[in-house]
Structure 1
């Protein structure tokens, strides 16, 4: 028995040495892997553009959240001031404030709700393209009217239009301007991709030209100026439209212009443009 014990005692240090040796080898291997990080210069322009778009999206999302929080505080402050000035009992004031909080909570829950095609009532078709269509739709919960762009994913793949659609979606999500059509949300199912956008009841500039035949000098100057502002708003975010035409210039209910249809838009890599080329 004693001999067996002494043999085990002799064996244990060797096992410990082997274990420590294995740990050391593993550590050295990890160290070797850490010595070969991917060089930043090897990143493609597409990756850089995706990173920039994601960064801009997160910043816009954060700003929107902070804006909503500030507006919520302001609404509460205004209500508290009105209640303080009015002849309302303390109990009624508390009840009204609780009612406001409940409504705000319901609104925030609706904001977080994952949208789907079943949340909308489909109305008139207002446009049809090679791999999709645009319909007027009404959100069932609020009754608000939007334009739903419905794109068939299999056709997008077959025609090689995936990158164009992705660029359109990224631009609409990234650029916050009154000069372009607004994107409210996007979602998809197994067959289609859906973009829920601002509905503009004024038609397009092509229809306006056909109806009026000739614009006055003031009207032409007004629409040219708003078109320039719209193009500038996307150039600031390093995108080019590549399909400017009267059909893609839509009018809102007040007659102001919005640039639309970014299916051919392309991110512009400004690092390849030589300084002074436009001087």
Structure 2
């Protein structure tokens, strides 16, 4: 009986693989036309390899999910009949997942709602699945912009990281797909807003609140570093809050990286304006600097130009960098949380870059900020040379700092958050900036029957972009960030075990 069921499962998986292969081949045909090119041959070869890996992984993941649930139920005290019901429920979800894998997902599957982010490459919009009614955040990126600005590797890395890393420190990805003009990432919606909006509202945070969010940021950064990924663009905009106030790392900014090519003449020994000993500070007081930053910060929120305030000096100088550049960014964010503005803020980004490169001359703590010695020490040990920066030998260095002495690292996401945002319902967007939609051209739907067009071979960069998460199956877990579902009321799967289940989604490697 078990053997027949396994054979039936393998047949179903083969059908899924064939369906997705046909889908990808159709896209290749549309993009490349009838001409036989080396690019097409290479893409077809990679497509076959990816589908073979995907097919094997799908079978392995299904077995792993069942085995995990069986181990959880063993010795749990749950009656045998209830155990059978739980296993049947899992089988039902597996069947739904296979149906989902066969379905060619498109933007038409979602009801598009409020814009919650916009930048040079596209936008982030609240959306609702038309079938499951689940609420998500849909990130829409222009392919042409990705290609022309050399961001293909960046968008690949982001998609791969979100698909591969199952962690409650990082925003969860449910789907990724594409049409002729756009790439789409459908992620969980975190209605608490981002740290940028919170700082604009509060101006500064107490050390207690700041300590909580810096500690959660340490865990999030550590988790991506363990997967050999460097963020490089950590800033308050990318620290998102769920409805309970817990922080997750993302990349919703969509702002283009700052072009620092004109900074090449800068060297670390150069003297710039305002650095001479005894020279007057342009800002007469930290209050005026804070007021100017608050005004300019609102403008930057609507700008498509990146801000360099949190970028490490070695990145600006193009000297080569490692994971330690993310710890510099965290130090800059911590300073802003406690003081009210970034440590190297200037009226124009080029001056900010110069200040960052000459950081030794510009790190100052205003007396009115009243930082504790431990807070100042941690900031100074993060905003320093890369080779001596705290965290360069692992996150444990930072966790051991005296400023974090009362932090229980293993319970940080199970305790009540230091700040709880106001969230009225699943569609509440009050914690995000308001974006005007009046001047936006209507979205061009290129997912329908008239989407066929011949694109340049470079578009092959996005072959294999499709991803569907097992957790997207309705009922397993909702997109609002709630904890794992208790199937029986007697036997629940905890977060760590659910992460194993979630990690078993079928990922096609780009």
TM-score range, shorter chain: 0.5 to 0.7
Tell whether 2:204 aligns with 1:214: yes
Tell whether 2:188 aligns with 1:191: no
Aligned with 2:217 (options 215, 227, 237): 227
* Residue equivalent to 2:458: none
* Aligned partner of residue 130 in structure 1, secondary structure: coil
Contact 1:181 1:198 in 2 (8 A): yes
* Aligned partner of residue 195 in structure 1, secondary structure: strand
Distance 1:105 1:225, change over 3 A: closer
Tell whether 2:44 aligns with 1:65: no
Q: RMSD over aligned Cα, in angstroms?
A: 3.7
* Residue equivalent to 2:288: none
User: Comparing both structures, which one devotes a greater share of its residues to helix?
Assistant: 1
Tell whether 2:70 aligns with 1:81: no
Q: Deviations over 1:167-207 (max 9, x none)?
A: 11111112211111111111111111111111110000111
* Residue equivalent to 2:234: 244
Contact 1:238 1:269 in 2 (8 A): no
Per-residue deviation, 1:256: 0.5
What is the alpha-carbon distance in structure 1 between the residues aligned to residue 193 and residue 224 of structure 2?
Answer: 22
What is the alpha-carbon distance in structure 1 between the residues aligned to residue 95 and residue 216 of structure 2?
Answer: 38
Higher relative contact order (CA 8 A, sep 6+): 2
Q: Deviations over 1:139-183 (max 9, x none)?
A: 111110111111111111111111111111111112211111111
What is the alpha-carbon distance in structure 2 between the residues aligned to residue 188 and residue 79 of structure 1?
Answer: 46
What is the alpha-carbon distance in structure 2 between the residues aligned to residue 118 and residue 216 of structure 1?
Answer: 45
What is the alpha-carbon distance in structure 1 between the residues aligned to residue 195 and residue 93 of structure 2?
Answer: 40
Tell whether 2:191 aligns with 1:167: no
Specify every segment of 5 or more residues in structure 1 that has no aligned partner in the other structure, as ranges: 1-53, 85-95, 271-275
TM-score by length of 1: 0.62
Tell whether 2:132 aligns with 1:135: no
Specify every segment of 5 or more residues in structure 2 that has no aligned partner in the other structure, as ranges: 1-49, 258-314, 316-320, 324-386, 394-510
Distance 1:138 1:74, change over 3 A: farther
TM-score by length of 2: 0.36
Per-residue deviation, 1:212: 2.0
Per-residue deviation, 1:106: 4.8
What is the alpha-carbon distance in structure 1 between the residues aligned to residue 199 and residue 73 of structure 2?
Answer: 48
Provide the aligned length of Structure 1 versus Structure 2.
Answer: 206
